Amino acid sequence: MSPLNRRDFLTAAAVAGGSALATKDPAVAARRGRRAAIPRAGAVRFSQGVASGQPTQRGITLWTRAAGLERTSRFAVEISPDRDFRKVILRRQVLAEEKRHFTVHERVSAPRLRPGEQYFYRFFTRDSDSVVGRFRMPLPPDSREPVRIGFFSCQDYESGFYTAHDGLAAEVDLDLVVCLGDYIYERSFDENGVRQDRTGRNSDAEVERLSEYREKYALYHSDASLRRLRQNHAMMAIWDDHEVEDNYARDEPGEATESRELRFAARRRNGYRAFFEHMPRLRNRDRRNRIYGSRLLGGNAELILLDERQYRDDQPCGDQIGSANCPEAFAPGRTMLGSDQRRWLKGALDGSRATWKIVGNQVMMMALDSPAGNPLNPDQWDGYKAERRELMEFIRKRRIEDVAFLTGDIHTFFAGEVTLSGRQPALRPAVATEFVVGSMTSKGIADSLGRSDRERQVLADLTDAGVRANNPHIEYSNQQRKGYGVLEARRGELQVEFRAPRSTEKPDSSVFTLQRFRVERGNPRVQVLGPPGGSFPN
């Protein structure tokens, strides 16, 4: 790297046509000349922070948004192995394009980015600097070092403060953080939310237009705790339903919108575009709305991410709670994934050479019955029974071991085993495990019905007891707490911890370990280890 300092780099880049180095290649010189015609950004606000994502052994995507621009402009990014940037290993210009709402998605693949190493990055203009972000490159494919993944979902802004985000941001040695869906909520679902918005925005307004979705992401990113999480760890996000509309299915709208102003197709298009604009990921050139894919994070773990909204058939029998046992839910050919994604998933599972196949899954794979044999929720895999059995049969017949599903959506912590039917096995053992993470803030059953902490605790205890009695395949249930999960994939075992803040009803709250689990390699059974010290904090 040239010894130019940061401001000198911007000046030299302008003179050299977009690069600090001259070239004799006419085509390259022409491209640099076109970029040089784009104005350099001066004073901007990096008010939504920075983020990184899509990590591979060869590179990573860096993100920011420059507020205060009126037209497409250019500035710079730099990467260093040191937090104080004593040694800069990469410095280049980036574009904040008006058509992308002045967001930057810069794919970086420098030869000096080494697998498994930590790096720092920042964006800068002539007059402004972003905060410093951090990411860790994935381990090499033959590495046997542990892989650590944080995972979360369901962060309704109005329902609580982002105290759990502070805990996840402070986790050490995470290779990646995964959002399993419901990153934003298209409207408020909490009439008694504790968050008093200080941003001046109408936080509970329902959004349908592109400008409104953009405002919703800006609202969520106005929270310093969420910005710290994105700043501290590389992140991959997959959408569920609320990034567009509650309980939609493919091109079928949900039923929670009270006064629709746009056709659903236009609303979904706007929601998808805003999602890609605000996440640290590039859009697929050929299939621009594709979010499913896999990431090899080292020899011990491959992360396989799904899309369970865009391709699914409509929920069976009117999507009513308790209707997941209707004949339609059993119908062959009904799909959650769509044929292309299902075929891809089978290939990804069968072809993975990682010890653990970690599947990021929006909705619950295990059955959830009340009473026993009566599935409650047709929006989850209970409404798509034939396809679930097909997938589980494939895993069993192909002898694919060590598959673990990570799931969001249901605002409750669960851990258990996945069988062919989703229920307690009769003659054959489980083929995979599942860890369902509670919400970061969004309310669950106990929150909605209880008027006090004591009432909510009693309701949660009763509900948890009913879950375990009616669902023997579920080893753990916690209806009361919010929080996130941390998974550690080792060569011989999988370790998972559920972590919770003591409160989401006040801005400052510490995080504790709610429960710990272990899965032995080759044995899809969840062992509940208990919280540290054997008791829960008050």
Q: Dihedral (C-alpha) 22, 23, 26, 29: value to the nearest 10 degrees?
A: -40
- The CA radius of gyration of the chain, in Å to the nearest whole number, is 23
Any idea which of 28-37, 169-178, 229-238, 325-334 has the lowest mean pLDDT?
28-37
N-term to C-term CA, the chain: 54
Query: Residue type for 309, please?
Result: R
Query: Among candidates 160, 231, 156, which has minimal Cα distance to 502?
Result: 160
Tokens of 151: 């995972």
> Which pLDDT score, from 0 to 100, does residue 454 have?
80
Contact indicator for 94, 77 with CB cutoff of 8 Å: yes
Q: Answer for the pair 479, 459: CB distance below 8 angstroms, yes or no.
A: yes
136: tokens are 């860790």
- Give every CB contact of residue 5 below 8 A, 6+ residues apart in sequence: none
411 contacts 443 by C-beta, under 8 angstroms: yes
Instruction: For the beta carbon of residue 339, count every other beta carbon within 10 angstroms.
Output: 10
Beta bridge partners of 349: none
Where is pLDDT greater, at 332 or 26? 332
Residue 202 has pLDDT above 70, yes or no: no
CB half-sphere exposure, 534, CA atoms < 13 A: 0
Pair of tokens at residue 92: 């280049």
pLDDT band per the 50, 70, 90 thresholds, residue 33: low
Chain centroid to CA 214: how far?
A: 18
Secondary structure class of 465 (helix, strand, coil): helix
Rounded distance, CA 75 to CA 180, Å?
A: 32
Q: How many CB atoms lie within 10 A of CB 271?
A: 24
pLDDT digits (tens, 9 = 90+) for 150-197: 999 999 999 999 999 999 999 999 999 999 999 999 998 887 778 866
- Where is pLDDT greater, at 33 or 341? 341
For residue 308, pLDDT beyond 50: yes
Which residue shows structure tokens 């969004």? 442
Assess whether pLDDT exceeds 60 at residue 426.
Answer: no
Indicate if the pLDDT at residue 536 is higher than 50. Answer: no
- Pairwise CA distance, residues 231 & 239, whole Å: 20
Instruction: Examine the pLDDT at 20 and tell me if it is beyond 50.
Output: no
Alpha carbon separation from 247 to 54, 93, 217, 242, 314 (Å, rounded)? 27, 41, 20, 8, 9
Query: The tokens of 426 are what?
Result: 């009769």
Q: Is the pLDDT assigned to residue 7 strictly greater than 80?
A: no
Q: Is 267 helix (H, G, I), strand (E, B) or coil?
A: helix
Percent of the chain scored above 90 by pLDDT?
74
Of residues 326, 396, 332, 410, the one with CA closest to residue 366: 410
pLDDT value of position 2: 43
Instruction: HSE, CB side, 13 Å, CA atoms: give it for residue 349.
Output: 28
In order, the DSSP letters of 101-127 are TTEEEEEE--TT--TT-EEEEEEE-SS
Q: Does residue 86 have a pLDDT over 90?
A: yes
pLDDT value at 451 more than 80: no
Q: Are 151 and 406 in contact (CB under 8 A)?
A: yes
Domains defined along the chain, listed by start: 6-133 (2.60.40.380), 147-534 (3.60.21.70)
Mean pLDDT confidence for 468-477: 94
pLDDT band at 530 (very low <50, low <70, confident <90, very high): confident
* Helix H or strand E encompassing 7: helix 6-15
Does residue 510 contact residue 190 with C-beta atoms inside 8 Å? no
Average pLDDT over residues 363-379: 92
Amino acid at 238: I
Q: Is residue 268 scored above 60 in pLDDT?
A: yes
Distance CA 472, CA 382 (A): 16
Residue 298 pLDDT:
97
Residue 507 has a pLDDT of 86
Q: Tell me the CB-side half-sphere exposure of residue 127, using CA atoms within 13 A.
A: 8
Residue range 516-537: average pLDDT?
A: 85
Segment 399-420, tens digit of pLDDT = 999 999 999 999 999 999 999 9
